[in-house]
Amino acid sequence: MKPDKDSARGLAQLEGFLLWNAEVEQARRQARRFTDQLPWLTTAQREDVERVFITERVAVSRESLTRIRDRAEELREEYTGRYARLRARCVAVSVGAVGAVTCLGTAVTLAIR
């Protein structure tokens, strides 16, 4: 791989890592806010509830991100195919137009002689 591609991939991985850590930290904050609304919990119960809350929230986030990633890949494939067909049509029309202009120019030149 080229260094530019390696750098881009490394930056994308770093961005993903930071975004995922932010997601986990947000789950922790939400778990704390949730358990703060339950003042009757003991410390052990509070920790258990927070642990379960975080685990569930992270699992839901992972599933959502996986679905989004899969859909993005599907769309990329779909639009890559569409773009290839569009490019082929544009090239065909351009070649046809150049051919038509060439034929017309030749016909006019021969007609003038």
Residue 10 inside a domain? The answer is yes
Structural domain of 68:
3-82
Predicted local confidence at residue 5, as pLDDT: 83
Kindly state whether residue 94 falls inside one of the protein's structural domains: no
SS3 (DSSP) at 38: coil
pLDDT tens, position by position, 55-106: 999 999 999 999 999 999 999 999 999 999 999 999 999 999 999 999 999 9
**Predicted pLDDT of residue 1:** 53
Structural domain total, the chain: 1
Is the alpha carbon torsion for 72, 73, 74, 76 positive or negative?
A: positive
**pTM for the predicted model, two decimal places:** 0.67
How far is residue 16's CA from residue 19's CA, in Å, rounded to a whole number? 5
Tell whether 56 is covered by a domain: yes
φ, ψ at 67 (rounded to 5°): -60, -40
pLDDT band at 6 (very low <50, low <70, confident <90, very high): confident
**35, 46 in Cβ contact below 8 A?**
yes
In a domain, 17, yes or no: yes
Structural domain includes residue 49: yes
